[in-house]
Amino acid sequence: MEYFIQQLVNGLTLGSIYGMIAIGYTMVYGIIGMINFAHGDIFMLGGFAALIVFLVLTSFLAGVPVVLALLLMMIVGMLAAALWNWTIERVAYRPLRGSFRLAPLITAIGMSIVLSNFIQVTQGPRNKPIPPLVSSVYNVFGIAISLKQIVIVVITAILLSVFWYIVNRTPLGRAQRATEQDRKMAALLGVDVDRTISVTFIMGAALAAVAGTMYLMYYGVVVFTDGFVPGVKAFTAAVLGGIGSLPGAVLGGLLIGLIESLWSAYFTIDYKDVATFSILAIVLIFKPSGILGRPEVEKV
């Protein structure tokens, strides 16, 4: 039982990271209907930005409190990732808006290749390990919960509330939802569609960067190929939860995290990704709109 709960805690932590990345996928898909393949690499980029900030802090400003360091890593990572995603949207996606649907998908895949190889070229192909940032572990009723895990879950919860508030309660969120429903109509009613889409990319990237920072802190290592697997899993999470739905993305992320850690704990760790992808396939085959997504009605 304790072992099981231990795995639940681990799965929840991992799921929070996936959930944060998944939101970026789901928001972009919701608003312009494209799979932003480069999003996983934005996450990786955010992790690298955090890594570099961490190194700057340790080598130039030794003795910074951990909380402040973490905060700075997150904020700089968010800024860097947001700027990258904004630029990518401007140069690679916006010119293709309204054209052929596969074209932006291809540029997105292209951008994903560009980003990971850019980091490989500029930062080197090796693993980048860092010493543990926060290492305390608490023992609650026989279950080991590390401070890292608490930080990750708490930060995810806070950010999600902020996001939920922005999307549901602010004019910006209203503009986003309007653009999502009907881009032309929204434009006619005075919504600046281009700006709204840019902001969506910025928001998604910021969350991905936080996820990247958390990932770096949790595993203590980052490498230029790290965008792909978590990216695909987060996209899986977004689809599983029902693409276009914010709560769905989080729910999907948590589910993927749980499946992964429970499968590794009780079955063979080798096939954990096979399990994740198989569950995705099964869910989609029986409920193609995902868990919280609205079913797609076929218009005749």
Nearer to another protein, 18 or 235 (CB): 235
Q: Confirm or reject binding of residue 228 to another protein (CB under 8 A).
A: yes
Length of the chain as a residue count: 300
Which of 121, 137, 158, 188 touches another protein (CB under 8 A)?
121
CA nearest neighbour of 30 among 171, 176, 174, 172: 176
**Where are the strands (E) in the chain, listed by range?**
128-129, 137-140, 143-146, 221-222
Which tokens go with 206?
Answer: 């910021």
**Where are the strands (E) in 108-149, listed by range?**
128-129, 137-140, 143-146
Residue 272 C-beta: closest distance to another protein, Å: 9
* CB burial of residue 45 (10 Å; 0-12, 13-18, 19+): buried
Which of 63, 65, 139, 298 touches another protein (CB under 8 A)?
298
Q: Confirm or reject binding of residue 109 to another protein (CB under 8 A).
A: yes
Which of 13, 16, 26, 107 touches another protein (CB under 8 A)?
107
Q: Confirm or reject binding of residue 235 to another protein (CB under 8 A).
A: yes
Residues 26-55 that bind another protein (CB under 8 A): 29, 35, 45, 48-49, 51-53, 55
What is the CA 36 to chain-centroid distance, rounded? 11
CA nearest neighbour of 163 among 131, 123, 210, 126: 210
Residue 182 C-beta: closest distance to another protein, Å: 17
Residues 6+ apart with CB under 8 A from 106: none
Interface contacts to another protein, rule CB under 8 A: 29, 35, 45, 48-49, 51-53, 55-56, 59, 76, 79-80, 83-84, 87, 91-92, 95-96, 99-107, 109-114, 117-124, 126, 128-130, 228, 232, 235-236, 239, 243, 268, 270-271, 273-274, 277-278, 280-281, 284-285, 288, 296, 298, 300
